Amino acid sequence: MNQRISLGFIMAMVLIGSGFTISFYSYIQYGDDTKQVRHTYEVIRVLDNILSYAKDVETSSRGYVITNDKTYLEPYYTAIHQLPDEIRKLRILTTDNRIQIRRRILLEKLVNDKLSITKERIRVKASDLKNTAISAESKRRMDLLRAHVALMIETEQTLMDVRDRQAGRSFRNTLIIISALSLLTFLALLILYRLLEKELTHRQQTEDQLRAYDSQLRGQIRQLEASNEELERFAFVASHDLQEPLRKIQSFSNLITDRYGNLFDSDSLLFMSKISNSAERMSKLIKDLLNFSRISSHREDFRSVQLNDIVQRILDDQELRIKGLDVHVEVNSLPVIEGIPSQIDHLFNNLISNALKFIRPGVQPLLRIDVQTVTGENYIGLVPERQYVEITIEDNGIGFDEKYVDHIFKVFQRLHGKSAFAGTGIGLAICKRVVMYHHGYITARSQPNKGTTFVVVLPESQSQQQYDRPTSETYSYPAG
C-alpha cells in the first residue's frame, strides 16, 4: 500500500511538473504578446500627448495674439518644455519599426516648424498686417502636423489589432493548459490528502490569529476616535483663549493711534494700521476656527428648520451690501427640514457671502436660490430612495475652473490672493462640514467668468436616516 501511494505521488508530481513547464512557457509567450500590445498603446499615448501639446501651442498663441494677455502663454511654455521629452520617448519607442522611424523624423520636423512659426506669431503684434499671413501659415502647419500624427496612430492601431489577436491566441492556449494543470492538481490532491488535512489545520490557526488581530485593531480604532475628540476639544479651547490677547492688541493699537496719532509720521501710521488690520484678520480667523470646531465638538439636537426664515434673515443683514452692489436677487420658496439652526445659518451665510464677494466688474450681480426634491441615487454617499432637498445657490460672478472643485473645499485653500478678495479660507470648509454633519452632499459647478452654482443636498428628515458612518470625520475643504 505504501509503495503504491509513493508511486502515485511520484506520478502526480511528474504530471504536475510537466503541466507546469508547458503552462509556464505558454504564459511567457502570452506575456510577450501582451507586452507588444502595451508597447503599441504607449506609442499611441505619446503621439496623443505630442498632438495635445501642439494644440496647446496653437490655442495659447492665438489667445495671446487676440488679447495680448500673457497668461494665455502658460500652456505654450508648458508645451515647449514637454514636447522634447515626448519626442525623445517616441524616438525610443519606434526603434523597432522602420516605417515609423521615417515618419517620426518627419514629425520632429513638423513640430519644429510649428514651434518656429508660433514664436514668430507671438513676436508680431496682432495689429500688424503680417500677423494674418503668419496665422494662416500656423494653421496650415498645424493641419499638417495633425494629419501626420493621425497617420502614425492609424499605423499603430493596425499593429495593435494584429498583436491583440496574437495575444488572444496565447491567452486561450494558456487557459487550456491551466485547465489541464488544474485537473492534474486535483488528482494530486486526492493522493496527498494527509497534507491537505495538515494545511487546513494550519489555516484554522491562521484564522484564529487574524481574529485576535481584528480585535486589537478595533481597540486601536476606539483609541483613535477618543484621541480625535480630544484634539477637537483642544482646538476649541485653544482658539477661544487666543481671542483675549488679540483683543488687547487691537485695543492698545487703537488707543495709541487715538492718543499719539498726531505725533506719528506717515510710516508710523501705516505700521499701526497694519497691526490693527492683522489683529482684526486674526480675530476673524479664530472665530471661523471656533465655528469650524463647534460643528463636531458641540452636539445639538436636530429640529425643524425653516430655510425661508434663515435665508431672509441673512439677506436682511446683507441689505446694504446688496443695494450698494445693485444685486438682482431671486429666491424661490424653501422648505422646512430637520437640522441644527446655527449650523444651517453658517452654511447659507457663507454661500451667500461668496456669491456677493466674487462678482465680475461691469456686470450686474445675480443671486438666485432655487430648490427641488430629489432622491439620493444620483449623489455619492447618500441613501438611495431617500427623500432629499437639492438647494442651488447661483451667481454670475468670476467663477473658477471645475478642476479645482475639490480644492475649494479644503481648509485654508484659496483660488485667489488675499489682496484680491478678503476671506480666511475656512468658509467653504465650514459649509462642507455642516453638510456632512447633516448627512448630505455639497458640490459646485462653475466656469471662469460664467458664474458659480453651489449644489447643497440635505435630507428632509434626519430621524429617518440610517447611517453607519460617524458624523465627526476629517474632511478636505475649500477656502472661503
pLDDT in tens, 311-325: 999 898 888 888 888
Q: How far apart are CA 392 and CA 347, in angstroms?
A: 12
Q: How far apart are CA 372 and CA 388, in angstroms?
A: 9
* Phi/psi of residue 442, nearest 5 degrees: -140, 140
Q: How far apart are CA 291 and CA 345, in angstroms?
A: 11
* Phi/psi of residue 166, nearest 5 degrees: -65, -40
Looking at per-residue confidence, does 339 or 138 come out higher?
339
pLDDT for position 420: 42
Give percent of the chain above pLDDT 70: 75
Annotate 306-320 with b (16+ C-beta within 10 A) or e (fewer).
Answer: ebeebbeebbeebee
| Whole-number average pLDDT of the chain | 78
**What is the band of 479 on the pLDDT scale with cuts at 50, 70, 90?**
very low
Q: Is 52 exposed, middle or buried (0-12, 13-18, 19+ CB in 10 A)?
A: middle
For residues 72-88, give the mean pLDDT.
87
Q: How far apart are CA 94 and CA 99, in angstroms?
A: 9
Please give the C-alpha separations between residue 297 and each of 160, 231, 284, 340, 364, in angstroms, as whole numbers. Answer: 58, 10, 20, 14, 41
Residue 216 confidence (pLDDT) above 80: yes
pTM for the full predicted model: 0.44
Residue 369 confidence (pLDDT) above 90: yes
Instruction: Record the cell numbers describing residue 262, joined without a space.
Output: 498726531
pLDDT for position 228: 65
β-bridge pairing 366-375 and 328-331: parallel
Residue 4 confidence (pLDDT) above 80: no
Q: 314, 332, 432: which is closest to 373 by C-alpha?
A: 332
For residues 35-55, give the mean pLDDT.
87
pLDDT-wise least confident of 78-87, 200-209, 212-221, 449-458: 200-209
Count of Cβ atoms closer than 10 Å to residue 236 Cβ: 18
Instruction: Record the cell numbers describing residue 451, joined without a space.
Output: 458664474
Residue 391 confidence (pLDDT) above 90: yes
Q: Is 334 exposed, middle or buried (0-12, 13-18, 19+ CB in 10 A)?
A: buried
pLDDT for position 284: 66
For residues 334-341, give the mean pLDDT.
89
Q: How far apart are CA 27 and CA 435, in angstroms?
A: 52
User: CA 343 from chain center: how many Å?
Assistant: 26
Total residues found in the chain within this entry: 480
**What is the band of 17 on the pLDDT scale with cuts at 50, 70, 90?**
confident
Q: 26, 43, 42, 25: which is closest to 167 by C-alpha?
A: 26
Looking at per-residue confidence, does 263 or 114 come out higher?
114
For the ranges 141-145, 159-163, 173-177, 294-298, the one whose mean pLDDT is highest: 141-145
